[in-house]
Amino acid sequence: MPVSAARTIAFEVLRRVEAEGAYASDVLHAELHAAVKPADAALATELTLGVLRWRRLLDFLIERQLKKPMVRLDLPVALALRLGLYQLRFLQGIPARAAVHESVELVKRARKSSAAALVNAVLRRLVGEAKHPAAECLPASITQADRLGILHSHPTWIVERWLSRWGLARTIALLESNNRTPPLSCALREIARREEIFDELGGDGLRVEPGRLLRSAFTLSGGSPARAQAFKEGRISIQDEASQAIPLLLDVQAGDHVLDLCAAPGGKTAPLVRAAGANGLVVAADRHAHRLRAMRNQFTRLGLRNVKLVELDAAQPLPFGRKFERILVDAPCSGTGTLARHPEIRWRLAPHQLVELHKLQVAMLKSAAGQLAPGGRLVYSTCSIEPEENEDVVAEVLKGIPSLQRVPASETSRALALHLVNGLDAGDFFDAEGQFHTAPDNHSADGFFAGMLTRDS
């Protein structure tokens, strides 16, 4: 019996995420080509990201029926069980018999027919339980962090550190935000053509809503923007609103020489190139040649020319003989501000990696600071909400380089205010030390941090 296209795609994406360490968004983008019906694409995306978000809760409920850990199952069997239970518990419009039957068929297609009876029996037992709150299944002796971790499907160690830092109410708000589908945010290349482009996208069958933070941002639903002519011609790009805000903090002026030190995939580089203009220069660097090639293709689509691509390791001494008026260090990080958009991160990240990332980020920021022209501006940013990767990095580098100092919040907030939607106060995005913050629970956007530094003239 055939399995629906949506479930087939979701199963394969989940397999690659688990077996190959791939990112779900990248594999979905490759799998959801033009031949896939929009309804199938939507369901495949919902199933893939839903299973990844709720994996811990799903596994907890399944293990109660299995009487053994999920890790002892073959991967195809575990994935079929997760897909089936996710549909039973979270997708009310799908008949239980379809969820169970197609999960069984997925196991058979994966050449694990010997496990078909197990999948069928476990899911059938879970049909009735799916109508009851998961909290009823938790043991009374469980710790608060474990309880929240299971019910909101996050690792206990992440819950513990957020409880310690923010308390119960804020932690729950973050956990809930990470399990909601984030808006599909896009950026306009030319804000003057806003209404024209919105009308065109509407004509393509897409639903358009204005951005919540930036005047140049908007959200789309009802289909893939990558299929729209406006995307193919470079008039719009897909990018979270918080991510769009980061290059604005540099306040690049026409004619500036700009260094984007960790540029791939290039979403933050494009507005820097446009702001620097024909008489400016942007150097976009990355340590991986294949990512530079992908950026070159991206810049061709966007019609960007005055940008130079350089392969280098940003944690090592930099090879440039000149200083730059503007430098962006959008550093590699844990990505804890993007757990709604990239839910697989929560299952891959370990506490020791925050220490390792901190060392790398400090090295990158120190290298970048050595290239900053007197009176110039350097923005250090991450999509993390962890202090080890954010405030602690900036503080350590400032302590070691006396000529560096923070840019006052009044200066960076003025640059940002020019781009915010009416009614928003730019000052609300900055802390007492002038550092920029967004968070999923407060801004309906990814969690980003940025510290702005300058060098004495």
* Active-site residue set: 383
**What CA–CA distances, in Å, run from 323 to 106, 247, 287, 343, 453?**
57, 19, 20, 39, 15
Helical segments of 115-226, H only: 116-129, 144-151, 156-166, 168-178, 194-203
Q: What is the DSSP letter of 452?
A: E
* Peptide bond just before 210 cis, omega within 30 deg: no
Reference 363, options 410, 331, 316; nearest CA is 316
Determine contact, residues 382/446, Cβ cutoff 8 Å.
no
Task: Please name the residues in contact with 355: beta carbons below 8 A apart, sequence gap of 6 or more.
Answer: 388
d(CA 327, CA 341): 27
287-323 b/e (C-beta count within 10 Å ≥ 16 → b): beeebbeebeebbeebebeebebbebebbeebeeeee
Query: Taking the CA of residue 41 as centre, how many other CA atoms within 13 Å lie in the half-sphere pointing to its CB?
Result: 20
C-alpha distance from residue 262 to each of 315, 354, 379 (Å):
10, 18, 12
**Cβ–Cβ under 8 Å, residues 265 and 295:** yes
* Cβ atoms < 10 Å from Cβ of 161: 18
- The identity of residue 367, as a single letter, is S
How many Cα atoms are found within 13 Å in the side-chain-facing hemisphere of 246?
Answer: 30
> 372 - beta bridge partners?
324
CA angle 394, 217, 25 (to 5 degrees): 75
Place of tokens 């026409």: 254
Task: Provide the greatest CA pair distance for the chain.
Answer: 73
Q: Give me 335's structure tokens.
A: 């990505």
